[in-house]
């Protein structure tokens, strides 16, 4: 008899979601993790980064205090040591809560590095509280195994990090960096978030992105609005640019480099900074975990799975960043639940990746769900767009932030909701309604016909839906 019904390899969001749900469904479950449970999101991504961004946002808000009739001395700066301490306190609290859920759900937590020795068998090398090997090894068997080993920061040859002058996201969210001049390489969600944070705490900030737009996976109008807002804040943006080969020079004081257009047109532009941030995406942690001892297949480092998260190896599943896709914590959690239900033979709430919400926590925030304008045009889908600016929403003015918009895309014939794209205040919260509407197959008529309380920011979605129908009475 196997030691467990289910063994989960990796304690990030997807891993512990699979473990907890399988245990709730009556399975004997253990989870193997060599570091802290919670994974990238809790310790090196979502939570610490957003805690830091909140400090930056508050500093920006304080700068507008006089507009609200509040007389306080002008803010002279920010203590990043305190920012870091607050961030670490939040992470520690969430980590403690997560560990308690292992006991609550009767899931055994094994502190070890795990490697698949054979189908249904994992060799574990135990580690101590500091994550260092103890020298003790053993083999654990299970009927089913879920791989949830996550991803790691992508490195760029020639731009190797040192944790001081050239850094990645891990260095930022575990440190107390307070640079005067910053260059961010990468204009995706991570790059834009850190650019926003460093600008808020007073740094001269520049973004270099190889693709033609910031947050290139978002709707083109959202990308344009974010670029406009960033430029307004004094963030320099160079899209469709790359670092000139051999131009990087690092010193004890910082870096100098040149950037050039991707298409080869135009002259190189010299840049200098005391901090270079590498935000070039993430790579899957699929190596050195024993996949060669299974029938599982890998494409570009990502483990291939079917709709039930099953690999080519019977009784072997994979979830989260290691399978690619959107690489978002909430998506990984859903994948973990799917795997648990498949293992337990329970009904599955299928994953529709086209309906998963996306959120970027810079200032202004960016959030979306569903198809973009460019995707609908590419696929020849007839659609109508409705755009409602936050400038027409009273609560946005009350809060002192009326930049941005909500864009609703509906099918031109059926009226079905196809996509929602937002830039502006609190849109990472507001997108939840749009996500639910899309999941339930709602129409623009139904969204626009739903009463939204006044005055609230939520009105922007209902009004945008009405604009798409030509029925807005407020814009």
pLDDT of residue 58: 94
pLDDT tens digits, one per residue of 160-177: 999 999 999 999 999 999
Q: Are residues 453 and 304 in the same domain?
A: no
The confidence band for 73, taking pLDDT boundaries of 50, 70 and 90, is confident
454 is an active site residue = yes
Span 234-263, average pLDDT: 96
Residue 212, both tokens: 């033609």
Q: Are residues 290 and 330 in the same domain?
A: yes
Our measurement of the distance from residue 374's CA atom to the centroid of its chain's CA atoms, rounded to an integer in Å, reads: 22
User: Does residue 202 lie in a domain region?
Assistant: yes
User: Does residue 61 lie in a domain region?
Assistant: no
User: Does residue 270 lie in a domain region?
Assistant: yes
Span 91-114, average pLDDT: 97
CA-CA distance, 332 to 206, in Å (whole number)? 32
User: Is pLDDT of 92 > 80?
Assistant: yes
CB atoms under 10 Å from CB of 305, counted, come to: 24
Work out the angle at residue 288's Cα, subtended by the Cα atoms of residues 283 and 289, and round it to the nearest 5 degrees.
95
The confidence band for 123, taking pLDDT boundaries of 50, 70 and 90, is very high
pLDDT of residue 474: 86
Q: Are residues 345 and 376 in the same domain?
A: no
Span 106-123, average pLDDT: 97
Domain boundary among 280, 295, 312: 280
pLDDT of residue 93: 98
pTM above 0.85, yes or no: yes
pLDDT tens digits, one per residue of 190-204: 999 999 999 999 999
Q: Are 304 and 323 spatial neighbours (Cβ–Cβ below 8 Å)?
A: yes
The confidence band for 35, taking pLDDT boundaries of 50, 70 and 90, is very high
pLDDT tens digits, one per residue of 259-287: 999 998 888 999 999 999 999 999 999 99
Domain boundary among 294, 329, 353: 353
Q: Which of 43, 95, 349, 454 is catalytic?
A: 454
pLDDT of residue 434: 98
User: Is pLDDT of 210 > 80?
Assistant: yes
Q: Scanning the structure block, which residue is given the tokens 């802290």?
A: 36
pLDDT tens digits, one per residue of 296-349: 999 999 999 999 999 999 999 999 999 999 999 999 999 999 999 999 999 999
Q: Are 173 and 344 spatial neighbours (Cβ–Cβ below 8 Å)?
A: no
Q: Are residues 144 and 160 in the same domain?
A: no
Q: Are residues 330 and 463 in the same domain?
A: no
Q: Are residues 136 and 110 in the same domain?
A: yes
CB atoms under 10 Å from CB of 432, counted, come to: 14
Between the CA of residue 125 and those of 34, 88, 140, 142, 344, what are the distances in Å? 9, 28, 11, 17, 28
- Counting DSSP H helices and E strands in the chain, the numbers are 13, 24
pLDDT of residue 319: 98
pLDDT of residue 77: 82
Q: Which of 60-69, 92-101, 222-231 has the lowest mean pLDDT?
A: 60-69
Domain boundary among 353, 382, 407: 353
Q: Are residues 8 and 144 in the same domain?
A: yes
R_g (Cα) of the chain, nearest Å: 24
Burial label for 294, CB within 10 Å (0-12, 13-18, 19+), is buried
The boundaries of the domain holding residue 224 are 155-280
């Amino acid at each position: 008899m196997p030691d467990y019904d289910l063994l989960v390899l990796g304690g990030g969001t997807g891993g512990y979601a699979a473990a907890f749900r399988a245990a709730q469904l009556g399975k004997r479950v253990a989870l193997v993790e060599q570091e802290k449970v919670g994974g990238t999101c809790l310790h090196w991504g979502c939570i610490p980064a957003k805690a830091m961004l909140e400090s930056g946002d508050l500093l920006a808000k304080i700068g507008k205090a006089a507009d609200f009739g509040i007389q306080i001395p002008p803010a002279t700066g920010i203590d990043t040591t305190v920012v870091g301490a607050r961030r670490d306190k939040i992470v520690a609290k969430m980590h403690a809560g997560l560990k308690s859920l292992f006991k609550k759900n009767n899931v055994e937590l094994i502190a070890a590095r795990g490697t698949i020795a054979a189908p249904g068998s994992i060799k574990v090398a135990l580690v101590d509280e500091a994550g260092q090997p103890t020298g003790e090894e053993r083999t654990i068997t299970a009927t089913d195994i879920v791989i949830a080993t996550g991803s790691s920061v992508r490195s760029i040859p020639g731009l190797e990090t040192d944790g001081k002058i050239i850094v990645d996201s891990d260095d930022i969210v575990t440190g107390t960096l307070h640079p005067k001049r910053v260059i961010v390489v990468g204009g995706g969600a991570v790059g834009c978030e850190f650019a926003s944070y460093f600008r808020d705490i007073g740094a001269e900030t520049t973004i270099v992105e190889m693709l033609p737009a910031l947050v290139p996976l978002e709707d083109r109008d959202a990308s344009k609005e974010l670029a406009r807002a960033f430029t307004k804040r004094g963030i320099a943006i160079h899209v469709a640019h790359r670092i000139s080969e051999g131009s990087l020079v690092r010193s004890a004081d910082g870096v100098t480099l040149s950037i050039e257009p991707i298409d080869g047109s135009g002259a190189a532009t010299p840049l200098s900074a005391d901090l270079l941030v590498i935000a070039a995406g993430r790579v899957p942690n699929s190596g050195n975990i024993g996949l060669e001892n299974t029938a599982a297949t890998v494409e570009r480092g990502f483990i291939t799975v079917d709709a039930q998260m099953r690999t080519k190896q019977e009784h072997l599943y994979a979830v989260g960043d290691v399978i690619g896709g959107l690489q978002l914590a909430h998506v990984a959690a859903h994948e973990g639940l799917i795997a648990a239900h498949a293992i337990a033979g329970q009904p599955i709430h299928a994953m529709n990746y086209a309906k998963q919400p996306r959120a970027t926590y810079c200032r202004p925030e960016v959030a979306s769900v569903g198809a973009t304008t460019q995707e609908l045009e590419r696929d020849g889908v007839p659609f109508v767009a409705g755009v409602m600016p936050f400038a027409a929403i009273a609560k946005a003015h009350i809060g002192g932030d009326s930049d941005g918009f909500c864009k609703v895309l509906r099918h031109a014939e059926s009226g079905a909701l196809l996509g929602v794209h937002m830039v502006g205040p609190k849109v990472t919260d507001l997108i939840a309604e749009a996500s639910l509407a899309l999941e339930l197959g709602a129409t623009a008529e139904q969204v626009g016909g739903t009463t939204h309380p006044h005055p609230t920011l939520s009105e922007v979605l209902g009004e945008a839906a009405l604009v798409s129908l030509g029925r807005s009475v407020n814009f």
